[in-house]
Amino acid sequence: MAQRPRLPAEEAESEASRVIELIRSTVPPMHPAGVPFVSAGLAVAAVGRRNRWIRAAGLSAAGACALFFRHPPRVPPDRGDVVVSPADGQVTVIDTAVPPRELGLPDKAMPRVSVFLSLFDVHVQRVPIGGEAVAVQHRPGGHGSADRARSSDENERNSMWIRTEDGHNVVVVQIAGLLARRIVCQVRAGDKLNIGDTYGLIRFGSRLDTYLPEGSTVKVRPGQRAVGAETVLAELP
């Protein structure tokens, strides 16, 4: 039986569907926290639509916010013995330090890996390892440049203590930066977490410190670029 030829309208609809699918696969989705900022830029563009400068400024602001709040899909490793980077950015510090005292952990230094996020990095944060959130604590502080060594102690921060099924303790700390004015964390104590899940973000510019169990093997080096949820920071003991 001969196939019915497609009508021009059907061909146009099929082509539009292919274009939409291409856009979806190329342009990453946006985190919901960015909706008010993008909407504000579009509102300015709409109000000033008769003035090309105002319209251009509004559209540019909306585009910049959509880029900042982008939320690309990630595929974490299918392993239970690794800690992945909680964010995109550059590995700046590998040392040992006492984790934030407000979490109630023993006053003992742990291996630490710091990832600095520039204004152009993806700013959503990912769970570095599966387990249970034992404690989540926010501490007010300053807003100095997050690439300074002392920003871990002086800047505003939100700390999360995760205990794995094997009893390992991992701590991840969101640290506000020079332009950051809000830390968002969607996890509460007692929540069950999966490696690679999105759990928060920082607006705008920040740092993530990850504290590892003693005996962990660090797999990154200073200056290396890390990809949130995918780059392995360390293997557990």
Active site residues per annotation: 206
| 181: nearest Cα among 204, 147, 159 | 204
As a whole number of angstroms, the distance between CA 73 and CA 162 comes to 23
Instruction: Give the pair of three-digit tokens for residue 211.
Output: 């504290």
Q: E strands, 45-105, where? A: 82-84, 89-97
As a whole number of angstroms, the distance between CA 85 and CA 124 comes to 12
By the 8 A CB rule, do 111 and 234 touch?
yes
By the 8 A CB rule, do 194 and 177 touch?
no
Sign of the CA dihedral 88, 91, 96, 98? Answer: negative
Count Cβ atoms below 10 Å from residue 205 Cβ, excluding itself: 22
Instruction: Give the pair of three-digit tokens for residue 154.
Output: 């002086």
By the 8 A CB rule, do 48 and 55 touch?
yes
Q: Which helix (H) or strand (E) covers residue 11, if one does?
A: helix 8-26
Instruction: Specify the DSSP class assigned to residue 194.
Output: -
Give me the phi and psi of 171, to 5 degrees please. Answer: -120, 135
